[in-house]
Structure 1
Amino acid sequence: MTAFTGPTEQHRRTRRLETGWRFHHGDAEGAADPDFADDDWRPVEAPHDWSIEGPFDPESPAGSAQAFLPGGVGWYRRELPSDVEGETVYLRFDGVYRDSDVYLKGEHVGNRPNGYTSFNHDVSGVEGSETLAVRVDNTDLPNCRWYSGSGIYRHVHLIETSALHVVPWGTDVRTPAVTERRARVDVHTEVANDAEEAAVCTLSTTVYDPAGEVVAEAATEQRFAAGQQHTFEQELAVAEPALWSPETPERYHVRSVVHRQDPDGTAETTGEPVDDYVTQFGIRTVTFSADEGVLLNGESMNLKGVNLHHSAGALGAAVPERALERRLETLAAMGANAIRTAHNPPQPELLELCDRMGFLVIDEAFDKWRHEKTGKFFEEWWREDLAAMIRRDRNHPSVIAWSVGNESYDHGEAEMLDDLEMLVEAANDLDPTRPATYGSPAWGDGHEGILKNAEAVAERVDLFSGNYMEHHYDDLRERGVDVPIVGSECRPFFRGSGDDPLAFVPPNPWFDVAERDDVVGQFIWSGFDYLGEAREWPSKGWPTGLIDTCGVPKPPAAFHRSVWSDEPMVEIAAFDPARERAPARPAWSWPALAGHWTFPDREDSRGFVHVVTFTNAETVTLYQNDERLGVQHLADNPDHMIEWYVPYESGTLRAVAETDGEVVATHELQTAGDPARVELDPDREAITADGQDLVYADARIVDDDGVVVPRADHEIECSVSGAGDLAGVDNGDLASNESYTDSRRSAYHGTALAIVQADRSPGEVTITADVEGLEGDEVTIPVQAPE
């Protein structure tokens, strides 16, 4: 894969409004007025989430659904740049949670209730330096089943164009016919003439390959009346296309240049370029089949996916791109290749990363539809919100399906089925190139009721997405369901059996995908632990994901790496019933596995420790202190859990994996001694001075040999100096009452995390970790100027 080197947009200007904001938590009468005094308001940068600052409160109206964190009303104010020059000007908000009202020069510009939807406001006529004010109302709590955050928690853009221009999200690039020799590329481009006089427009469309070379061109002329909008439809061809796939995520670009001519002139030239718009896309084919699952570029594959909420631990809902990239890197190392955006449109940066890194995406619009609080604005806004998601996201090659909803509380009832038909029809109209689906739960009056409801859903969707329905797949096929099936939510360990949705049977739910051609794939609930949807105080979130809020894979995640990844691996985990865990819903929990070999209570008794090894190699040999304990074959353990009972000795437990008699992977655990020091381990050697980039520094309590002390819970003081700031602290413990925005965090299972964000000036940032009674540590990271 090569980087795009073609031209960028040259005849429009797009700027992020990140700095210069002032914030007030609480309502403020008259705050939209340009003359309002906001000198005592707090300076912040956008994106910004005020809820993550806390405090946690068991009496909070947000409750367990939204992590016991505050909502309320908040105001933001700033001045527009002084050099605004566009004839047509838009303000684009990627997401404001929620019920936002935007004011400019004291005048109301518009309202948007949905906190997850991106939206545009036309503010043409501004000249620069006008006062922009945004009121955010997140008082009707809880209004979401998980942590939503509060505020302008995604990017804000100022877009300046000509009066004759490509409208927001106005390009639709499709590749309806693709062979090795040729790809047909259809480009639909919506152009508006906002001027008070007629115009003649020539739209020049150029396709650039992944290296930035021109590979196709077209030009079309159109006469516009004043105020008219027109959709250009152009067909181009690309020879020997480089196909997009998870293995080769090659991306092409379309540059749409709008030329304006004198409507009374006779010149044969294309006219003056007044606007251009660059669209990234990929050339690929995706086919869903009830017999073969999903075919990408004609090749059968399985979706190895996770459900992903929008928040990111200590950062709350204001998540910089680097945090998303780090998450996807962790998932990719596990062998995952797919994301379901549970249960709302994600921030745009996630899809851009999925395009670049080769993830497939089910893009989801809504949760619960008409529920009293989560769906308060559904009736009035569903069509506009759905259209915003599809128009914004339709050119991403990573997006392979639209999900129009999830687990409506009136599942199976007449109104719900009518809503489903309505939404699927709208999605198909907006984008006929991708299937529409809905997260269908295993709900109904007994076994027969569950199947009846599922069958009714299957009749109305293009792809059946079943939440925890693996044990019903055969029944659905026997009832004549003939659409492709995907496990849209799957437990990481439990699989239902017969009428019991929680019955554990040894094969993991993954094998319902691996052993069936008619099942497209699975999406684990959940990929990462997340805030909200907690079981009970003191838990603040969902603690049974494959990866904790610090971004560290838990020992059970090794199972999925063993079945999802082709990279040879072996990993040891020990059953540790004493391991501290936040309150969780047992049906989504693995047994208490731990990645350590420190059991002092077994030292004298020679008690046995139950151990499991995960591998994708042929055999595993286990050694304790260089004594060979035995060898086991993966073929004898079809559930991919090789179990051992080891008479405990302190020291080293080592697993050696072999295939065809060759060692392909090893893993070992070492017994920890007494805590000696805190050790910092940053995840990057340098970061960029753009005000957004991050470095994650693990802070570990270790013994003299550098082994993590698994039950150490020392309080770690983190400090930052130089060209960066402390963005948050975490330890993965969702039952902790410690603030994510403090400088102190207790170690949990021996570790904590400091997240440091770069300033906007180059230099160095120094991170220091101190623990009372132990040796501290310090690391310095270069903060480099943007390229």
Structure 2
Amino acid sequence: MSGFPGPTEQYRRTRRLEEGWRFHQGEADGAADPEFDDDGWQSVEIPHDWSIEGPFDPEHPAGSAGAFLPGGVGWYRRSLPTDVDGGKVYLRFDGVYRDSDVYLGGDHVGNRPNGYTSFNDDVSQAEGGETLAVRVDNTDLPNCRWYSGSGIYRHVHLIETSPLHVVPWGTDVRTPAVTGRRARVDVHTEVANDAEEAAVCTLSTAVYDPSGEVVAETATERRLDAGEKGTFDQELVVTDPELWSPATPERYHVRSVVHRRDPDETGAATGEPVDDYVTPFGIRTVTFSADEGVLLNGDSLTLKGVNLHHSAGALGAAVPERALERRLETLAEMGVNAIRTAHNPPQPELLALCDRMGFLVIDEAFDKWRHEKTEQFFDEWWREDLAAMIRRDRNHPSVIAWSVGNESYDHGDEGMLDDLEMLVEAANDLDPTRPATYGSPAWGDGHEGILENAEAVAERVDLFSGNYMEHHYDELRERGVDIPIVGSECRPFFRGSGDDPLAFVPRNPWFDVAERADVAGQFIWAGFDYLGEAREWPSKGWPTGLIDTCGVPKPPAAFHRSVWSDEPMVEIAAFDPDRERAPARPAWSWPALSAHWTFPDREDSRGFVHVVTFTNAERVTLYQNDETIGVQHLADNPDHMIEWYVPYEPGTLRAVAETDGEVVATHELETAGEPARVDLDPDREAITADGQDLVYVDARIVDDDGVVVPRADHEIEFSVSGAGDLAGIDNGDLASDESYTGSRRSASHGTALAIVQADRESGEVTITADVDELENDEVTVPVRPPE
């Protein structure tokens, strides 16, 4: 944990505007007017996504792309805090989906079409108590290939400082020369003088180490005319730096303090402090090599990554920080070390967590540049949107590359290549320290056309990101592509072959990384199941991720854990042809696997069950009811899938993994009896009373011995009382029509999930699960005051 003492609010105050909002779904003539009567509107807290409340409808204009959920127009209103007292004032919106108009005191202060871009509106004339109104227009559907959500779905910040100040996202911290004993830290700081007269100012810059000690500092003085912006270029040196990496995610901080004195004063050179701006960063070097992949701090590293969309199952697009943290914890347990933010800038909290938890990130700006519903905005806004992402995110040590786009519909055409060149040049200008890339698909006129398009892309980017291009890596190298390569989208099981990226070749794409030194890594599509981009009704989303929308790793995820994680492991899964699954695109699917040992149809016939064990140990011994089924060695199964055919008996199937003759991991599956009760299991012992924190409560239909009944589909009634509220319910089944925001959810494969959000008052929150004809359960979780 960082020991940085934090900024003072004496010269810059930043606060979130979470409470006090009123919301109306639909048009509301005159709603920007401060005198407008909104007494009948709904009270909501921000972040807020109105689409997730549904209902599902196959006739919704968003269709399968938008999870068959509604869009429309929405209005938000609230008053500014009464203690806003002038100076320089900004409203920062981390994300509003989409085409938002912001009004203050009835005056229009800003518009932003792009629903994923963070933006700052200058409202320096604001007075305490003025009415803030935001109109959100998400009517032109579908305008996204996946579920976007609707509304002010990310945080809103009110920032107050002096007219002489560091501009929003105004620091650029670079570490161009790093050794084990010395790191050069270059800090470029943009300061604006928005006062009516010139000012002589001093920028004092200090670097704090992870323990909170000042380890370098400097100061620069210059004169800024009224209305002028100037960049201060400063160089500092940190000795014996603690380098940032996934294994050691050490974070430093730069504190930038602006001091002012009038031009004719003769006092101290530093003058009076007027602004205090803090920038977290990390000291590290990242180099992409065509021969060695990624070098982090001079050491070779392989990207073991997944693609992530921004929504989170039952929570929709309004995703609290704890939900993101839980996702990253699950991925870390699998050995994941990299995230690609498919296909738009993420919420800022994700990058802060990646900095803290040690994930590497490819930060992506756009999907289709000229989608029919976005083309009218692209020409006008692309430069500002790209700059917003890079300026906002450039100091995160986790970010190692910028992606300027993904799978343009006109891939390979002259106009598309011109757009690509334009975007890469802009990204390089905004940040020359990181490579720029583009998600390049295996599209083209036949085999030769695919390779020609890939070559044309490679000529215009710094890093070639191939979507489902593993089977072309050798040909690209033979044709002279000599830049670094990464698999930006890879299927979790099948890979392409020849000129067909959809060919079902059961060779896992991971081996195209593991067997090549010149490929930097891969990003699986997708890490988590997500809403939207569904194949067909009744599916509401993409069901072939490694982890379901409840956050539970699926059995196939064990393969990636076996090749990505150093922690000894073994997991058993059974081929389960009766397993119900939402409609999916077959090329992204694994065979149907289940982690249970309940096959009553095989019991009388003594039928065989096809079983697979995943492990990173040397050998596995499989037992059924303490009788040895057999022993197999990983070296004899280079695809990391050890297959068995087991004559089924009810009871226990146990795998024991050994390395060097010692047991290093075990895994058991037990046969379930009849459903007896529902068991609740919260993922945390306590949560914080901040109105945002979450506890995830698993509900399991179990037999008398506590074994999950895999075919149980009982309806569970959840109720919550005390210092929290039910934020969402889920069961991981994307084909379900049940609401994410109700109180009743059927179990799927024996389980369901309740997500409970803390109130702002401490106490306890009690969660109850009722199931007809079964024994019910109740758990209580403390809700503690913020520290």
TM value normalised by structure 2: 0.99
CA deviation vs aligned residue, 1:82-108 (integer Å, no higher than 9, x gap) = 000240100000000000000000010
Instruction: Give the match's secondary structure for 1:417.
Output: helix
Shift of 1:506: 4.2
Q: Residues of 2 paired with 1:10 and 1:640: CA distance? A: 58
Q: Do the aligned partners of 2:7 and 2:277 also contact (CA within 8 Å) in 1?
A: no
Deviation at 1:34, TM superposition (A): 0.3
What residue is the counterpart of 1:683 in the other structure?
A: 683
Q: Give the corresponding residue for 1:752.
A: 752
Q: Deviation of residue 500 (structure 1)? A: 2.7
> In the alignment, is residue 330 of structure 1 matched against residue 327 of structure 2?
no
Q: Are the counterparts in 2 of residues 506 and 639 from structure 1 also a CA contact under 8 Å?
A: no
8 A contact 2:96–2:136 mirrored in 1: yes
| Corresponding residue for residue 321 of structure 2 | 321
What's 2:364 paired with? Answer: 364
Q: Which residue of 1 aligns with 2:663?
A: 663
Residues 183-237 of structure 1: per-residue CA shift (max 9 Å, x gap): 0000000000000011110000000000000000000001111111100000000
What is aligned with 1:610?
610
Q: Match of 1:290, as an amino acid?
A: A
- For residue 729 of structure 1, report the CA deviation from its aligned partner: 0.2
- Provide the residue aligned with 1:703 in structure 2: 703
TM-aligned CA deviation for residue 564 of structure 1: 0.2
Q: Structure 1 341/625 Cα, relative in aligned 2: closer, same or farther at 3 Å? A: same
Which residue does 2:189 correspond to in 1? 189
Corresponding residue for 1:60?
A: 60
1:399-438 correspondence to structure 2 within 5 Å:
399-438=399-438
Q: Percent identity?
A: 88
Distance 1:138 1:250 in 2: 40
| CA-atom RMSD in angstroms | 0.8
Secondary structure at 2:678's aligned position in 1? strand
Contact 2:7–2:276 (8 Å) recurs in 1: no
Task: Note if contact 1:729-1:745 (Cα within 8 Å) is conserved in structure 2.
Answer: yes
Aligned-partner Cα distance in 1 for 2:642–2:50: 46
Tell me what 2:85 maps to: 85
1:82 counterpart SS class: coil
Q: 1: CA distance between counterparts of 2:2 and 2:138?
A: 43
Q: Quick one: structure 1 residues 296 and 125, their matched pair in 2 at CA, closer, same or farther if it must change by over 3 Å?
A: same
Match of 1:566 in 2: 566
Corresponding residue number in structure 2 for 1:294: 294
**3-state SS of paired residue (2:766):** strand
Distance in 2 between the 1:567 and 1:110 partners? 51
Residue 490 (structure 1) aligns with: 490
Aligned-residue offset at 1:507: 3.1
DSSP 3-state at the match of 1:92:
strand
- Cα deviation for residue 620 of structure 1 reads 0.3
In structure 2, the residue corresponding to 1:333 is in which secondary structure? helix
For residues 587 and 86 of structure 2, what CA distance do their matches in structure 1 show?
A: 56
1:126 to partner: Cα distance: 1.3
**Shift of residue 7 of structure 1?**
4.6
Q: Which SS does the other structure have where 1:66 is aligned?
A: coil
Alpha-carbon distance between aligned partners in 2 of 1:467 and 1:86, rounded to the nearest angstrom: 50
> Partner residue of 2:734?
734
Deviation (angstroms), 1:375: 3.6
Deviations 1:107-126 (A, max 9, x none): 10110000000000000021
> What one-letter code is carried by the residue in structure 1 that aligns with 2:178?
V
Moved over 6 A (4+): none
**Alignment partner, residue 643 of structure 1:** 643
**Structure 2: how far apart are the matches of 1:503 and 1:225?**
64
Instruction: Tell me the CA shift for residue 2 of structure 1.
Output: 4.7
Partner of 1:596: 596
Change (3 A) 1:376 1:594: farther
Distance in 1, Cα, partners of 2:6 & 2:185: 18
Distance in 1 of aligned mates of 2:324 and 2:3: 20
Range 263-272 or range 244-253, more displaced:
263-272
Inter-partner Cα distance in structure 2 for 1:198 and 1:141: 49
Residues 202 and 220, structure 2, Cα contact 8 Å, conserved in 1: yes
Query: How do residues 206-285 of structure 1 correspond to structure 2 at under 5 angstroms?
Result: 206-285=206-285
| Residue 376 (structure 1) shift | 3.6
Decide whether aligned partners of structure 1 residues 703 and 359 sit closer, same or farther in structure 2, where only a CA change above 3 A counts: same
Indicate the larger mover: 497-506 or 8-17.
497-506
Contact preservation (8 Å) 2:504, 2:587: no
- Residue by residue over 1:277-306, the C-alpha shift from the partner in whole angstroms, topping out at 9 and shown as x without a partner, is 000000000000000000000000100000
Counterpart secondary structure, 1:64: coil
Deviation at 1:268, TM superposition (A): 3.1
In the TM superposition, what is the alpha-carbon distance from 1:498 to its structure 2 partner?
1.6
1:536 maps onto 2:540 in alignment: no
Structure 1 residue 698 displacement after superposition: 0.2
CA contact (8 A) 1:507 1:638 kept: no
Distance 1:557 1:3, change over 3 A: farther
Q: How does 1:338-353 map to 2 (within 5 A)?
A: 338-353=338-353
**1:246-269 deviation digits (Å, cap 9, x = unpaired):** 000000000000001121111233
Shift of residue 505 of structure 1? 3.5
- Distance across 1 between alignment mates of 2:779 and 2:159: 40
Per the alignment, residue 501 of structure 2 pairs with 501
Q: CA deviation at 1:156?
A: 0.2
Q: Which amino acid aligns with 2:73?
A: V
Instruction: Compute the displacement of 1:510 (Å).
Output: 0.3
8 Å CA contact retained: 1:688, 1:758: yes
Q: What residue is the counterpart of 2:120 in the other structure?
A: 120
Task: Give secondary structure in 2 for the equivalent of 1:159.
Answer: strand
1:133 aligns with 2:125: no
Cα distance in structure 1, aligned partners of 2:474 and 2:100: 46
Please tell me whether residue 453 in structure 1 is matched to residue 469 in structure 2. Answer: no
* Aligned-pair CA distance for 1:598: 0.3
Q: Which amino acid aligns with 1:26?
A: G
Q: Deviations over 1:418-440 (max 9, x none)?
A: 00000000000000000000000
In structure 2, distance between residues paired with 1:376 and 1:339 = 30
- Conserved 8 A contact 2:11-2:276: yes
Q: d(CA) in 1 for partners of 2:3 and 2:669?
A: 41
Amino acid corresponding to residue 366 of structure 2 in structure 1: F
Deviation at 1:499, TM superposition (A): 2.1
Q: Against the structure 1 CA distance between its residues 15 and 641, is the aligned structure 2 distance closer, same or farther, given a 3 Å change threshold?
A: same
**Shift of residue 553, structure 1, vs aligned partner:** 0.1
Distance 1:631 1:412 in 2: 51
Deviations 1:294-337 (A, max 9, x none): 00000001000000000000000000000000000000000000
> Post-superposition shift, 1:5?
3.5
Stretches of structure 1 lacking an aligned partner (at least 5 in a row): none
> TM-score, structure 1 length as denominator?
0.99
Contact 1:364–1:405 at 8 Å: present in 2 too? yes
- Tell me by how many angstroms 1:504 deviates: 3.5
Greater mean deviation of Cα atoms: 523-532 or 376-385: 376-385
Counterpart secondary structure, 2:495 = coil
Aligned to 2:505, the other structure's residue is in SS state coil
Q: Does 1:385 align with 2:385?
A: yes
Could you list the per-position Cα deviations for residues 42-79 of structure 1 after superposition, in whole angstroms to 9, with x for gaps in the alignment? 00000000000000000000000000000000000000
Q: Specify the alignment match of 2:764 in structure 1.
A: 764
| Cα distance in 1 for residues equivalent to 2:109 and 2:7 | 33
Whole-Å separation in 2 of the counterparts to 1:86 and 1:242 = 41
Name the counterpart of 2:512: 512
Alignment of 1:100-115 (within 5 A): 100-115=100-115
**Displacement of 1:503:** 2.9
| 8 Å CA contact retained: 1:6, 1:213 | no
Match of 1:377, SS? Answer: helix
Q: CA–CA distance in 1 between the matches of 2:495 and 2:374? A: 29
- Cα drift, residue 8 of structure 1: 4.7
TM-aligned CA distance change 1:620 to 1:375, over 3 Å: farther
In the alignment, what sits opposite 1:51? 51
Question: 2:439 corresponds to which letter in structure 1?
Answer: G
Q: 1:543 to 1:636 in 2, by over 3 A?
A: same
- Segments of 5+ residues of structure 2 without an aligned counterpart are none
Using the TM superposition, give the Cα deviation of residue 495 of structure 1 relative to its aligned residue in structure 2, in angstroms.
1.1
Secondary structure at the aligned position of 1:150 is classed as: coil
Structure-2 separation of matches of 1:737 and 1:4: 48
